[in-house]
Amino acid sequence: MKPNITTFWLRCFSALTLLSVMMLAGCVTSGGKNLDVSSIKKGVSTKADVVKLLGPPDQQMTFDDGSMDYTWVSVRTKENLIWGALITKGVDSTDQEARNQLVGREVQTVSVTFSPEGVVKSVTTSKSGSVQ
């Protein structure tokens, strides 16, 4: 029996579709806190307001003058479980920067300084990396 050209192309399309679905299914984004500081107002918001908004801080510092600095850190990662496993196999596990580029890592930091009375003096945010 002679192979049908339509059947051949249908099988190729089916195989490519299955491969695409497997690759997309392997993408996972994980971690990260909501560190939206848009509602924090300098001179108005209090320590209690900020903790209610962002949750307990990851780090706290108290200065000699009684002011405090609270810091929150959020780390989000995105990995393609199939390609990530294949590609990162050749990356030295101590080379964190190369690993971050392969998996996609975003680090966001928020630091809020409070007066001795517990009122917001300043808000500093930073973000590095990206999760596409």
Q: pLDDT per residue over 110-129, tens digit each?
A: 999 999 999 999 999 998 87
Q: Which residues contact 44 (CB under 8 A, 6 or more apart)?
A: 119, 120
Condensed to tens digits (0 to 9), the pLDDT of residues 57-70 reads: 999 999 999 999 99
Per the model's pLDDT, the better-predicted residue between 77 and 115 turns out to be: 115
List the domain boundaries for the chain. 28-129
pLDDT tens digits for range 33-43:
788 999 999 99
pLDDT higher than 60, residue 87? no
Which candidate, 123, 127, 109, places its Cα nearest to that of 39? 123
